[in-house]
Homo-oligomer: A and B are copies of this chain.
Amino acid sequence: MTKRGFPDEEFRARVAAAQEQMAAAELDALLLTEEADVAYVTGFQTRFWESPTRPWFIVMPGSGAPIAVIPSIGADLMARTWLTDIRTWRAPDYEDDGVSLLAETLAESVGRTGRVGVPMALESHLRMPLADWARLEDHLPNIRFVPDAGVLRRLRMVKSAGEIAKIETACAIAGRAFDRVPEIAAAGVPLDLVFRRFQMLCLEEGADWVRYLAGGAGPGGYADVISPASAHPLEPGDVLMLDTGLTHDGYFCDFDRNFSVGPPSAETRSAHARLIEAVQAGAEIARPGVLASDLFHAMDRIVTGGAGGSEAGRLGHGLGLQLTEGLSLIPQDDTVLVEGMVLTLEPGVTLGNGRIMVHEEDIVVTDGAPRFLSDPFGPEIAVLEGRA
Contacts and interface: CB of A to CB of B under 8 A. Distances in A.
Interface of A: 4, 34, 36, 45-48, 50-54, 71-77, 88, 90-95, 97, 118-132, 134, 147, 192, 195-197, 199-200, 203-204, 206-214, 223-228, 231, 245, 309, 311-314, 317, 322-325, 328, 330, 332-333, 354
A192 B209 CA distance: 11
A308 B147 CA distance: 41
Contacts of A197: 203
A56 to B, nearest CB: 11
B95 A212 contact: no
B120 A231 contact: no
Nearest to A206: B196
When A and B form their complex, which 9 residue pairs have the shortest distance between CB atoms, in order from nearest? A120-B130, A48-B226, A72-B311, A76-B224, A51-B324, A120-B131, A50-B212, A46-B226, A200-B200
A119 B126 CA distance: 13
A45 B228 contact: yes
Given A47-B214, A125-B126, 17 more contacts: A4-B231, A47-B211, A47-B228, A48-B226, A51-B212, A51-B324, A52-B324, A53-B122, A73-B226, A94-B330, A119-B130, A120-B129, A121-B131, A124-B130, A196-B207, A197-B203, A199-B209
B73 A323 contact: no
Contact of A47 (B119, B131, B212): B212
A128 B131 contact: no
Each complex incorporates copies of this chain amounting to 2
A131 B123 CA distance: 11
A97 B223 CA distance: 24
A71 B226 CA distance: 12
A121 B135 CA distance: 11
A324 B314 CA distance: 34
A209 B290 CA distance: 39
Contacts of A75: 311
A329 to B, nearest CB: 11
Chain B CB within 10 Å, residue with most, of A36, A48, A72, A314: A48
A227 B313 CA distance: 37
B214 A204 contact: no
A154 B102 CA distance: 28
Given A92-B328, A313-B91, A76 B223 contact: yes
A339 to B, nearest CB: 24
Contact of A74 (B52, B226, B330): B226
B46 A227 contact: yes
Contacts of A195: 208
Nearest to A132: B122
Contacts of A88: 311
Contacts of A313: 54, 71-73, 90-93
A52 B129 contact: no
A212 B197 CA distance: 18
Contacts of A46: 214, 226-228
